[in-house]
Amino acid sequence: MYHYIFYKLYSYMLTTPNSNLALNGAVIYLSISLLFYSITIDLLLNKFLKLHSMSSSTFMIIGLCYAFLIYSINYWYFRKDNLYLEIEKRFINESEKMRVLGNIFAASIVYGSIIFFMLTGFLVNKYFGGFR
């Protein structure tokens, strides 16, 4: 599943003017999605389990390090042994119907991460007294 989502993002990046950076772009989109899902989980854990509290500057530093770590691991993983080319060969011959469904699925994963994050923040703020 993870490889397929990567493939859909990679194939999208191949259609852009910066197609020579398709691997990098696909990893960035994938990493941003993972970062938003992680932040959403962190918000929920902080609100309901009150696991930790830290200053906003500390949170930003840790968040930036975490984002860089997610990107680095994903880039290394897909670049290692040209895995991204093997993934492309595996999925390139999908049917038109599967291509369209795959595009919808990948878009829902990427956009869903942002929407889920915003919706969670809104609901926690509105119904549970905000973030403290």
Q: What is the pTM of this model?
A: 0.81
Q: Is residue 33 part of a domain?
A: yes
Mean pLDDT of 73-89: 91
Asked whether residue 24 is assigned to any structural domain, the reply reads: yes
Is residue 59 a part of any domain in this protein? yes
Does the structure show a pLDDT above 70 at 94? yes
Q: How many domains does the chain have?
A: 1
Task: Please indicate, yes or no, if residue 69 is contained in any of the structural domains.
Answer: yes
**DSSP-assigned states of every residue in 41-81:** HHHHHHHHH------HHHHHHHHHHHHHHHHHHHHHHHHGG
Instruction: With respect to residue 132, please indicate whether it lies within any of the assigned structural domains.
Output: no
% of the chain with per-residue pLDDT over 70: 92
Provide the domain limits for residue 28: 2-127
Digit-coded pLDDT (tens) for 17-73: 888 888 888 999 999 999 999 888 888 887 777 766 667 788 788 888 999 999 999
